[in-house]
Amino acid sequence: MDGDNIARFAYLALLGSALAFWFFTQNRQSVNKTLQQLAAWALIFIGVIAAYGLWEDIQSTVDPGLRISVSDSGISVPRAPDGHYYLQLMVNDKPVDFLVDTGASQVVLSHRDAERVGIDTDALNYFGRAMTANGEVRTAPVEIEAVSLGGFTDNNLTAWVNEGEMDRSLLGMEYLQRWPSVQITNGALILQR
């Protein structure tokens, strides 16, 4: 700590001590009641701070998913609070959560998701290379038999399994270009056929 921080700390400690001394001298007749009220206000203050800090977790528990709208001609996906678009597709009849990534040319499955949909990751040939924020990773091509989103099914989709760690799978242009119209309008991603 430098001299300025020490001086600020000393000033706040002195001010806090003076306030505490005044508070207890004014309320010395009912110290127990005063301490109970002080404890109640402290718990309220801690509760407000905890609710603020955990608001995203609370919100995801109350409203666990973003509502996608499905029509005969397409799908509308609202933007998530973090500014991204997320979709859950059925890959070989298993649900997989994807981050929509228009900057990715391919569909990239995380190692964990690939295993969940029945791909034997030990038998893959990781000859591909991809540059990520964490550096270069090895990838292996796979053929996905069926991918479904809201009643729309595509067959024989080429994807890549990432050998490195990924938080979630990426839905790149290899899949998005199968939709004749892809738009972002009023905070929603709209895919139409």
Per-residue 3-state assignment (H helix, E strand, C coil) for the chain: CCHHHHHHHHHHHHHHHHHHHHHHHHCHHHHHHHHHHHHHHHHHHHHHHHHHHCHHHHHHHHCCCCCCEECCCEEEEECCCCCCCEEEEEECCEEEEEEECCCCCCEEECHHHHHHCCCCHHHCCCCEEEEECCEEEEEEEEEEEEEEECCEEEEEEEEEEECCCCCCEEECHHHHCCCCEEEEECCEEEEEC
Q: Give Cα separations from 4 to 15, 16, 97 (angstroms).
A: 16, 18, 50
Taking each helix axis as running N to C, give the angle between helix 31-53 and helix 3-26, from 0 to 180 degrees, rounded to the nearest 10: 140
Domain architecture of the chain: domains with CATH = 3-61 (no CATH), 66-192 (2.40.70.10)
On average, the pLDDT of the chain sits at 86
pLDDT of residue 135: 77
pLDDT of residue 65: 56
> Cα(97)–Cα(170) distance, rounded to whole angstroms?
9
pLDDT of residue 64: 52
Q: In the structure encoding, which two tokens stand for residue 1, read together?
A: 């700590």
pLDDT of residue 156: 92
pLDDT of residue 116: 92
pLDDT of residue 151: 86
Compute mean pLDDT per 10 residues along the chain, 193 residues long, and list them: 83 86 76 80 88 74 67 88 90 92 89 92 88 80 92 91 88 92 90 90
pLDDT of residue 174: 92
